Amino acid sequence: MSRPREGTGVPLPLVVPAALAVAFLVLPVIGLLVRTPWSSLGEQLTAPGVGEALRLSLVSATAATGASLLLGVPLAWVLARSRIRGRSVLRALVTVPLVLPPVVGGVALFLVLGRQGIVGSWLDDAFGITIPFTTTAVVIAETFVAMPFLVISVEGALRAADARFEDVAATLGADRWTTFRTVTLPLVAPGIAAGAVLCWARALGEFGATITFAGNFPGTTQTMPLAVYLALQRDPEAAVVLSLVLLGVSLATLLLLRDRWLRGAAS
Amino acid sequence: MRRRLALLAATGLLAGCGTDASGDDGNGPSGTLTVFAAASLTDVFTELGDQLEDENAGLEVRFNFAGSSALATQITQSAPVDVFASADEPQMQVVVDAGLADRPEVFAANVLEIAVPRGNPGGVTGLADLGRDELAVALCAPEVPCGSAAEQVLASAGITAAPDTLDEDVRAALTKVELGEVDAALVYASDVATAGGEVEGIPVPDAEEALNVYPVCVLADAPNPAAAQAFVELLRSDRGREALADAGFREP
């Protein structure tokens, strides 16, 4: 989204708080880097379980983002464009996972999808399916916590998008589903992408709901944030290294994707 | 030095802890007493704190309950604390090594017990059942005290457990039992005692093999040493020991 500009053109009253914001957000990361035990880095990285936890984190965060896109984009459309009653109540409900402490979210998931849960006990009786303590549970917990970020972003993009394009499509005879696919979606694609990134990042860092609902078991449910937390109990150095790995991988992924989008947008 | 790194998680909780403690007014402690205590002590310490407040007008007791390692980190990051009660000796040693306290006293002990949901749906009778694959079993992660105790108890009984989750602390494991999501968990006897009707306890033979002891100390820089001393004395008195026994703790 680069546009031609004249000079840097940033007014001074914005520069100072913006610089403070950067310092506030970046200094803790620098703190981590300073304390990193570089000499034992290789040893920490190749410790058993690190690769496994990283792989599990990436796979489950990506799956959670996929599920959020599939369910969240239609929900955002409903919130932004439909005229159903109680839309504001619906919007407030959607943001509940943002406010709920994630550990409580995990308990809430138990009450619905756990062995004794409303839906979970039926799944168990009818199909012999139990969800807690499985990788599926990790994806569900992450989706629960992260999807609202996507929904809010996409809804914002939909509201900002010019609805007249959709009106024109409608007057030209397109039904609402066709309009959604061929006009609305391309129009808000950048918003969806931004929301998906936010959602993925939140899912990747998810801790509370995951450790509660999915538990912590290496190879099945132990994602990087869980590994970091437990390492912190015994060996803070290892925790710092693990955090850096997670940080590095997520930054690299986001930069790579961003590159692709920018190139895509330019061509 | 290394442990100081754990400042990551630390200081947030402390905002608002007053340090306007004065201590000696002639008759009994007053001011504010700040106690940092292991999460497993929550119920019994709150009760003892209320008693101390009732007996000393002008005394306010404030608690910060959390995992012992988090508390030790907060204290070494210079949180203003009068009393520290840890759930194990290594975390107390962190504070002693930092030169912030000396001569901690052991005031209670805890053993592991098998916690099962009410009615014992998994038909658990002893440690051997923790190895049954078809049961959902929670243990504490080996990184936290209750997890290393569990490893010891299981090893000395020659049992290979088949856990479904290795929880970050003992209360997390207990919550899963209370919700009926696991058939069994190895937790402290004191946790079973305070869990209420949703949880039943099955004693573990040879649990004493991994006796967990609780040391307490008055910090060297305690803002209110008089009140701190009064609290520790209450803890060591007959009344304190009785309250601890009621909460499922053992004599050290």
Give the pLDDT confidence of A171-205 residue by residue, as tens digits: 888 888 888 888 889 999 989 998 999 999 999 99
Write out the residue limits of the CATH 3.40.190.10 domain(s) in chain B.
2-109+213-246, 112-210
Q: Give me the pLDDT at residue B14, please.
A: 38
The three-class DSSP label of residue A158 is: helix
Residues in chain A with pLDDT values less than 70: 1-8, 261-267
Residue B15: pLDDT above 60?
Answer: no
Q: Are A53 and A59 in contact (CB under 8 A)?
A: no
Name all contacts of A188-191 with Cβ < 8 Å and 24+ positions apart.
Answer: A188/A154, A188/A157, A188/A158, A188/A161, A190/A1, A190/A157, A191/A153, A191/A154, A191/A156, A191/A157, A191/A158, A191/A160, A191/A161
CB contact under 8 A, B167 and A35: no
ipTM above 0.85, yes or no: no
Give percent of chain A above pLDDT 70.
94
Nearest to B165 among A215, A232, A236 (CB): A215
Question: Which residues in chain A touch residue B181, judged by CB atoms under 8 angstroms apart?
Answer: 110, 114-116, 132
Convert the pLDDT of each residue in B40-86 to its tens digit: 898 899 999 999 999 998 999 999 998 888 898 889 887 889 999 99
pLDDT of residue A261: 65
pLDDT greater at residue B19 or residue A175: A175
> DSSP letters along A188-209, please?
THHHHHHHHHHHHHHHHH--HH
| Chain B residues near residue A35 by CB distance under 8 angstroms | 5
CA distances from B199 to B22, B49, B153 (A): 43, 27, 21
What is the per-residue pLDDT across B187-235, written as a single tens digit (0 to 9) for each?
A: 999 989 888 888 999 999 877 777 889 999 999 989 999 999 999 999 9
Instruction: Judge contact between B105 and B217, C-beta under 8 A.
Output: yes
Question: Residue B215 forms beta bridges with which residues?
Answer: B106
The CATH class of B112-210 is alpha beta
Beta bridge partners of B65: B37
pLDDT at B1 over 50: no
Query: Partners of B185 in the beta sheet?
Result: B115, B138
Question: What's residue A262's pLDDT?
Answer: 57
For residue A239, the chain B residue with the least C-alpha distance is B6
Question: Of A72, A198, A195, A56, nearest to A137 (Cα)?
Answer: A56
Looking at residue A199, its pLDDT comes to: 95
In the A/B pair of chains, how many CB contacts fall below 8 A?
77
Task: Round to the nearest angstrom and report the end-to-end CA distance of chain B.
Answer: 31
**CB pair distance less than 8 Å for A230 and B144:** yes
Tally of CB atoms within 10 A around A132: 28
Mean pLDDT over B15-22 rounds to 39
- Topology of domain A49-100+136-266 in CATH is MetI-like fold (1.10.3720)
Q: Is the pLDDT of residue B12 over 50?
A: no
The shortest C-alpha distance from B91 to chain A (Å) reads 10
A37 Cβ contact list (under 8 Å, min separation 6): A44, A237, A240, A241
Identify any residues that bridge with B110 across adjacent strands, giving them in sequence order. Answer: B212
- d(C-alpha B48, C-alpha B244), whole Å: 10
> Given an 8 Å threshold on Cβ–Cβ distance, is B5 in contact with A240?
yes
Q: What is the mean pLDDT of chain A?
A: 88
For B2-109+213-246, give the CATH class: alpha beta
Q: What is the pLDDT of residue A7?
A: 59
Average pLDDT over residues B122-137: 93
A132 with B6: Cβ contact below 8 A: no
Sign of CA dihedral B199, B176, B41, B91: positive
3-state secondary structure of A128: coil
Query: What value does the mean pLDDT take over residues B134-153?
Result: 90
| The predicted structure's pLDDT at residue B11 | 38
Give the CA diameter of chain A.
68
Q: How do residues B102-123 score in pLDDT, each as one tens digit?
A: 889 999 999 999 999 999 999 9
The domain limits of chain A are 49-100+136-266
- The answer to whether A236 contacts B166, with C-beta atoms less than 8 Å apart, is no
Token pair listed for B205? 């033979």
Which residue in B2, B163, B172 is closest to A212 by CB distance? Answer: B172
Look at residue B25 in the predicted model and tell me its pLDDT. Answer: 44
Q: Which of A133, A135, A213, A228 to mutate to test the interface with B (most CBs of B within 10 A)?
A: A133
pLDDT score at B244: 94
Checking if the pLDDT of B20 tops 90, the result is: no
- Would you say B250 and B210 are in contact if contact means Cβ atoms under 8 Å apart? no
